[in-house]
Structure 1
Amino acid sequence: MSQLTIRSLAELLQHEGQELGISDYFTITQEQINQFAAATLDHQWIHVDTERAKTESPFGAPIAHGYLTVSLLPYFWNQIIAIENLKLQVNYEIEQLRFNQPVLVDSQVRLHAKLLSVKDLRGVAKTRIEVKMEIKDQKKPAYNGVITFLYHFM
């Protein structure tokens, strides 16, 4: 994986409509699922009860919380792109997010990103990015959607 570096709004505009990259694979562990459950107070058995999930779940194993997989967006995004010369970056919006397939414990996932659009809002770049979380060896992605970041360049 080679990380793209952007240093200005003008450089960002040059990548509008293009694929930005793909992150490295990352393994979702039971420990991470348990920590996410503790942080969000979402202890549904399908996530945290490994024995019950093996016998009663239609998936045959615990699955990651959908929002756990979404919370990994910043981690993956920083592997794909480095935005320099910033005063501030703001998470603005997630739209059209669809969970397509559950992520089983110990699955490997990675993110694909495409820059759909960039708008110059008086020096603030409003970027819409199409994201897709791929699950290794699976045809359907874990999710896909569009995220929006605001970049305040120096």
Structure 2
Amino acid sequence: MRIFRDFDEIKAAAGTEVGVSDWIEVTQERIDQFARATGDDQWIHVDVERAKRELPTGTTIAHGLLTLSFAPVFVRSVMHLDGVTNTLNYGADRIRYLAPVPTGSRLRGRITIAAAEDAPRNGLRVTYGVTIEIENHERPACVAELIAVHYR
């Protein structure tokens, strides 16, 4: 884990890779819980028997937004910013889903700091480059530019 002691250190790291997280397994239980929480119960996510018959993967696939929702876990697992009292999700500039995530896959996040700039009220707005990789697959599941504002 990379520790940043202050906002200046994170600003100096703009344009660099911070790290690569550990793997997280995408289970059918996680997919089902996400479907219940969001109301997105499309059969490609929750109907195991139909997916066996009709999907090229032979299994259900994770929701794109479920895949993206792992990003905060990935970021927190590879870095820490000292002195932060809270962090707010500011949004995203780009999100692309490049490959389906079959149930049972393992994902990890490759995190970069794309940009960092001072924000009002003693904050720092950081744009994180997040590449969510699928174990043993060439194409990533998702690439995104996610923006957070950290406050001290």
For residues 99-138 of structure 1, the aligned pairs below 5 Å read: 99-122=97-120, 123-138=122-137
The TM-score normalised by the length of structure 1 is: 0.94
CA distance in 1, matches of 2:11, 2:39: 41
CA distance in 2, matches of 1:9, 1:140: 33
CA distance in 1, matches of 2:76, 2:7: 18
In the other structure, the counterpart of 1:146 is 145
Stretches of 4+ moved more than 3 A in 1?
A: none
Q: Percent identity?
A: 34
CA distance in 2, matches of 1:148, 1:28: 24
CA distance in 1, matches of 2:10, 2:131: 20
Shift of 1:93: 1.2
Give the residue type in structure 2 aligned to 1:65: H
For residues 84-103 of structure 1, the aligned pairs below 5 Å read: 84-103=82-101
Shift of 1:129: 1.1
Shift of 1:84: 2.1
In the other structure, the counterpart of 1:4 is 2
Give the residue type in structure 2 aligned to 1:126: R
User: The residue matched to 1:86 in structure 2 has which SS?
Assistant: coil
**1:73 counterpart = 2:108:** no
Give the residue type in structure 2 aligned to 1:97: I
Structure 1: which 5+ runs fail to align? none
Shift of 1:55: 0.2
CA distance in 2, matches of 1:76, 1:16: 18
Give the residue type in structure 2 aligned to 1:52: R
User: The residue matched to 1:103 in structure 2 has which SS?
Assistant: coil
Pairwise CA RMSD:
1.1
Give the residue type in structure 1 aligned to 2:137: Q
For residues 5-44 of structure 1, the aligned pairs below 5 Å read: 5-44=3-42
Instruction: Give the number of aligned pairs.
Output: 151
Pairing partner for 1:63 from 61, 75, 78: 61
Give the residue type in structure 1 aligned to 2:142: Y
User: The residue matched to 1:60 in structure 2 has which SS?
Assistant: coil
